Amino acid sequence: MSDSHTQKPDLVTQLLPIEFRSISFNKSGNRLINNLSLTINSLGITIILGPNGAGKSILLRLLHGLDKPDFGDILFKDIAANYAIKRKQAMVFQNAVMLRRSVKDNLAFVANLHASKQEPDLLALLDEVGLYDKQHMPARRLSGGEKQRLSLARALVAEPELLLLDEPTASLDPYSVQMIESLLTKLQRRNTKIIFITHDLNQARRLAEDVIFMHKGRLESFQSAEDFFKNPNSKFAEAFIEGKLIF
Amino acid sequence: MQIFSDSFTTAFFLIISGDPDLYEIIFLSIKVSLTSLLGSIIIGLPVGAFLAIHRFKMRSVLLSVLNALMGMPPVVVGLIVYLYLSRSGPLGFLNLLYSPTAMIIAQMLLVTPIIAALSAQIIEDLHIEYKDLFRSLNVSTSKAVVAYIIDARMSLLTVVLAGFGRAISEVGAVSIVGGNIDHLTRVMTTAIALETSKGNLSLALALGIILLTIALGINLLAAHAKNWVMEKQDV
Ligand SMILES: Nc1ncnc2c1ncn2[C@@H]1O[C@H](COP(=O)(O)OP(=O)(O)O)[C@@H](O)[C@H]1O
Ligand SMILES: [Mg+2]
Tens digits of residue pLDDT in B45-102: 999 999 999 999 999 999 999 999 998 999 999 999 999 999 999 999 999 999 999 9
> What pLDDT tens digit does each residue of chain A (247 aa) get?
444 444 555 555 679 899 999 999 999 999 999 999 999 999 999 999 999 999 999 999 999 999 999 999 999 999 999 999 999 999 999 999 999 999 999 999 999 997 678 889 999 999 999 999 999 999 999 999 999 999 999 999 999 999 999 999 988 899 999 999 999 999 999 889 999 999 889 999 999 999 999 999 999 999 999 999 999 888 898 889 888 876 6
Residue A84 at interface with chain B, using a CB cutoff of 8 Å: no
Q: How far apart are CA B79 and CA B106, in angstroms?
A: 9
In order of their start, the domains of chain A are 11-241 (3.40.50.300)
Task: Looking at the CA of residue A166, tell me the nearest atom of ligand 1.
Answer: 23
| Residues B157/B222, Cβ–Cβ less than 8 Å | yes
Q: What is the dihedral of CA B80, B86, B91, B97, to 10 degrees?
A: 90
Q: How far is CA A84 from CA A15, A155, A162, A224, in A?
A: 10, 16, 12, 30
Backbone CA torsion sign across B20, B25, B29, B32: positive
Q: Which residues of B touch A162 (CB under 8 A)?
A: none
Q: How far is CA B91 from CA B80, B83, B97, B103, B208, in A?
A: 12, 9, 10, 15, 34
> Nearest ligand, CA of residue A214?
1
Name which CATH class applies to B2-230: mainly alpha
Tens digits of residue pLDDT in B112-127: 999 999 999 999 999 9
Residue A101 at interface with chain B, using a CB cutoff of 8 Å: yes
Which backbone phi and psi does B231 adopt, to 5 degrees? Answer: -60, -45
| Residues B167/B33, Cβ–Cβ less than 8 Å | yes
Closest CA to A123 of A110, A113, A133, A137: A133
Q: CB–CB of B234 and A100 under 8 A?
A: yes
Q: What is the dihedral of CA B226, B228, B229, B232, to 10 degrees?
A: 160
Measured in residues, chain B has a length of: 235
Residue A86 at interface with chain B, using a CB cutoff of 8 Å: yes
Phi-psi region of A37 (alpha: psi -120 to 50; beta: other; left: phi over 0): beta
Question: Nearest CA of chain A to the CA of B227: how many Å?
Answer: 14
> Nearest ligand, CA of residue A34?
1
**ipTM for the whole complex:** 0.90
Q: How far apart are CA B210 and CA B166, in angstroms?
A: 16
Q: Which residues, numbered 17 to 46 in chain B, qualify as contacts with chain A under a Cβ-Cβ cut-off of 8 Å?
A: none
